[in-house]
Structure 1
Amino acid sequence: MRAIQITEFGGPEVLNLVEVLEPKPEPGQVLIDVSRAGVNYADTHNADNSYLAPVSLPFIPGGEVVGTTADGRRVVALLAGAGGYAQRAVAPEDWAFEVPESVDDVSALGLIVQGTTAWMLLRQCAHLQPGESVVVHAAAGGVGTLAVQLARSLGAGRVIAAASSERKRELALELGADVAVDPAAEDLTAALREANGGRRVDVVLEMTGGRVTDQSIAALAPLGRLVFFGMASREAPKPIDPRNLLGHSSTVAGFWLPHAFTKPGLMQRAMTELITAVTDGSLRVIPGGDYPLAEARRAHEDLLARRTIGKLVLDPNR
């Protein structure tokens, strides 16, 4: 079968289209004939071996697929680390969720990682309360576009989107953000407070790192919460002194999706709510690009250059 394989760590140039043997499911696994594979920012970290979970060479990148099982079920699934950039993939049976025909492939893939991440950030980590203000960084990305919509549906009092271009900020406003700011502002703390009517903010969803994290923490209101779920800039924030959190009773939390599986039923609850929202039209996954499998390098290049919005996918049959 056709697949993208990585035999050395590096940038997009290490993604190579090759012919490999078809994977064989073990007990408790399901073989999926892949119609689309999702592309996530985490895949770029896997390629250069900077992700939380280490990988061994050689490997097929990609942690999510949508397709059909041997018994005819249409499912979207998380994989056990990798294997998605291929015509067929195996997934743990418990990590495969049935998808109704009313939900297209791109939407299904937008929900399994990015949708559930947005859901967990707001519900499980930040415990968003009605009327609270929410800052969504990378608001035009896969997680961000969904987080903006979910924050609004959960009763946020003010949704503040941070995005790096005018086009991306306009998209965030279309999706329900009250105001959009440029995260490159020299004083981001002041920009966030100004966007919130001069008040400090209650919740920040942050995946950039570096100064963006530092200045977002400084913008938190008393009892405010920042949830850190990625480091796209690859720049670490300053170390946090717990004593400095006392000044505003601030909470800084981290989130990594695999830990959601340690709570029985949590992922199923999230997926059920998200699929229902897409089906009834209250939640929209933004397509970000449908690339042939042979152009996986270009997908990574576009993602790293921040040229993309929404959900990126690969078509293994092209």
Structure 2
Amino acid sequence: MHQENQTTVSEFLLLGLSDQTEQQTLLFVLFLCMYLITMVGNGLIILAVSLDSYLHTPMYLFLANLSFADISSISTSVPKMLTNIQTKSQSISYESCITQMYFSIVFVIIDNFLLGVMAYDRFVAICHPLNYTTMMQPRLCILLTVVPWILSNLVALTHTLLLVQLLFCDSNTLPHFFCDLAPLLKLSCSDTKINELVLFILGLSVIIFPFVLILFSYTCIIRAVLRISSTEGKWQAFSTCGSHLTVILLFYGTIVGVYFLPSSTHTDDRDKIGAVLFTVMIPMVNPFIYSLRNKDMKGALRRLIHRKKFLLLMT
């Protein structure tokens, strides 16, 4: 039952990243550029993997899924933010807010799971090169692709079903640029202890399990590489997982830097910094890391661009 002093919230107000009017144009241009760069960069990777037969391997299947997740992640928050700045409106409906929160959870978690899956793929490729094709069969690859999506949606669904049971009183102002779970829990006038407990348990689980898989995989990789006698052989083995390792360091370095290191910044500011890094910055830089440090990907992108030029000339 609703108490007399409680009202049903039909919309929320997103305050964005800044309340300074003169900064809105700068934020609009900056985030529009980052959004377009992310869409083009990740889109090219998906096209290259889809069209180039040289990239029809498990490693690039997982990479294409990561690029799709990155495109989806930034698309859950930035377009609405840009629309609000352009229309000078801060409102978002209750239903849209819950939907935005759901998908933002899904795509951040899927990034984490896919990093673990890709680490396992590199472990098999380096530690069991002769059995790679046998071990990474199509059925296993599909399983390693589908299961993370299922788990991510289950986690997001759990948080969403718990959230919709909460009451939101007169205050409907979110000090954020999209509907994130943590600010919504702070805004609720209901008891959120269960939500916070589930958030802690599931949040810790979705970080620890992929991280343990990554740690195990790279421990085995390092041992295998150190047994290689030639320096050239060691460098070649490490180079096959250099891009992935860079992304891992960026992802988990962000988690540690934002949420674990002591900081004098306000909690709301820390939440916004973390959200910008996970939903905007990391999806934007991932394509550059994989294309600049990967010879196969660079070659595939060159062939894709030349193919486009050829098609344009033919038309």
TM-score in same-fold range (> 0.5): no
Query: TM-score by structure 1 length?
Result: 0.23
TM-score normalised by L of structure 2:
0.24
Asked which structure has the greater RCO (Cα within 8 Å, sep 6+), the reply is 2
Larger radius of gyration: 2
Query: Per residue, is there more strand in 1 or in 2?
Result: 1
